[in-house]
Amino acid sequence: MSYTPTSLSRLIWCRIRFFQRLNEVSNENLAKTLGVMPRTLYTYDKTAGNITLNQLESFIDEYSLSIEQLISI
């Protein structure tokens, strides 16, 4: 069995999606916060490598989180 390490962008994206579910944030609101179209969220579900630091910063600013809080969710 081969092991593929999880990338940091994938980890962050999974935490963003988890936060979204916990706080009942709609896909439309999340997309608006990240500055993307809602269909882009589904692309990030498959490959999160395209999420940018600006998008991450927008997300943590919008929801008053720190990166440490996001990672520890």
| Helix or strand holding residue 32 (H, E) | helix 27-34
The whole-angstrom separation of Cα 20 and Cα 72 is: 14
Name the pTM for this structure: 0.88
Cα Rg for the chain, rounded, in angstroms?
12
Burial of 16 (0-12, 13-18, 19+ CB in 10 A): buried
Contact 43, 36 (CB under 8 A): no
Average pLDDT, stretch 54-60? 95
Token duo for residue 34: 């990240």
Tens-digit pLDDT profile for residues 6-43: 788 999 999 999 999 999 999 999 999 999 999 999 99
